[in-house]
Amino acid sequence: MKAAVIVFPGSNSDHDAFYTLNGVLGQPTEYVWHKDRRDLKDFDLVVLPGGFSYGDYLRTGAIARFAPVMQDVVEFAKFGGTVFGICNGFQILTECGLLPGALLRNRHLKFVGKKVAIRVENTDTRFTNTCAMHEVLINPIAHGDGNYFADAGTIGKLEDSGRVLFRYCTESGEITDEANPNGSINNIAGILNDKGNVAGMMPHPERCSDPLLGANDGIKIFHSLLESIAVES
Amino acid sequence: MMFTAKIKIMPKPGVLDPQGKAVMHSLETLGFKGIDETRIGKFIEIKLDAASKNAAMETATSMCQSLLANQVIETFEVEIS
């Protein structure tokens, strides 16, 4: 699996993503600078990493969306390429319309940085095929704008078509309001596009993909990507 | 001709505005009575050169649609002077 990690000014999880893909999984991985135009067809996976691109000015992800390389990311996604947005990457994907909805300010207005439990809601996807249905993964979150919002019609479509990938839950897997760290509708922590090739999530699997870090649940998502891309090629 | 576009961006009705809520609670704590709702948006002023008032309006509207507002969660109003 050949992976590209897009680097924006203000990305801060690009090295974590690179380390997971290259250091842990041993996959050829390249950084791609936001100002470069690149034909991404050579890659199997494009990761939009976490961070605070362009200082979160105007709205999170709003300016990054117009970075030159984003035209190539959109093109890559159009032709079925696998795109994975983590945290700020998720915000950028909603801003550029590759994923529906938007990420609002956390309901308590505070930046939240802690480990949370998320439940896998669909295992028939490129991003979760090595997880068990309703498996609980412990992942860190670190965001001020992670409150997933979409109009009722969009939420209904996401729910009915199995496009909610993860929900915030208790450690035993219950979906409760207390387990929701930011006010997201239906505890949504991650979603999938209609074609199944673009996903975004607020938690950081790339920050818990090495046992040395004391948490290893995130690696399952990268193993899933590896698995599905191996099957395709 | 130089025009000034005054752009008001507000969270759509029904979209949670936690900032507005927090400010409303603070106002109530200060003793202000009768507040029904507080919503917080953005105000952007752009000075631009355009052939006519209509052209300036068109440009500013296009700016809102493409970058300044996210129409999933926000509405915008443009005033040209």
- Would an 8 Å CB–CB cutoff place B19 in contact with chain A? yes
What pLDDT does A164 receive?
Answer: 98
Instruction: Name the band, by pLDDT with cuts 50, 70 and 90, for residue B14.
Output: confident
Mean of the pLDDT values across residues A103-107?
95
* CA-based nearest residue in chain A for residue B14: A151
A49-64 in b/e burial notation, b at 16+ Cβ within 10 A?
A: bbbbbbebebbbbbbb
**CATH number belonging to domain B2-80:** 3.30.1280.10
Query: Would you place residue A204 in the very low, low, confident or very high pLDDT band (cuts 50, 70, 90)?
Result: very high
A102 touches chain B (CB under 8 A): yes
Domain locations in chain B? 2-80
Do A183 and A176 meet the contact criterion of CB atoms below 8 Å apart?
A: no
pLDDT on residue A16: 97
pLDDT > 70? residue A71: yes
For residue A140, the model assigns a pLDDT of: 97
Confidence of residue A181 (pLDDT cuts 50, 70, 90): very high
Structure tokens at B68: 């300044």
When mean pLDDT is compared across A20-29, A53-62, A146-155, A181-190, the lowest value belongs to A53-62
Where does the pLDDT of residue A232 fall: very low under 50, low under 70, confident under 90, or very high at 90 and above? Answer: low
Give the count of beta carbons closer than 10 Å to the beta carbon of residue A196.
Answer: 18
State which fold the A3-232 domain adopts.
Answer: Rossmann fold (3.40.50)
Determine the residue among B15, B23, B73 to mutate to test chain A binding: the one whose Cβ has the most chain A Cβ atoms within 10 Å. B73
Query: Which ipTM was obtained for this model?
Result: 0.81
- pLDDT score recorded for residue A233: 59
Phi, psi of B47 (to 5 degrees): -95, 125
Answer whether residue A1 shows pLDDT above 80: yes
pLDDT band at A213 (very low <50, low <70, confident <90, very high): confident
Question: How high does pLDDT run on average in chain A?
Answer: 95
Cβ distance of B16 and A59 shorter than 8 Å:
no
Q: How many CB pairs under 8 A join A and B?
A: 37
pLDDT band at A76 (very low <50, low <70, confident <90, very high): very high
Q: What single string gives the DSSP state of each residue in A31-80?
A: EEETT----GGG-SEEEE--B-GGGG-SSTTTTGGGSHHHHHHHHHHHTT
What are the helix (H) ranges across chain A? Answer: 14-18, 68-78, 88-95, 152-160, 219-232
A60 to chain B: closest CA residue? B70
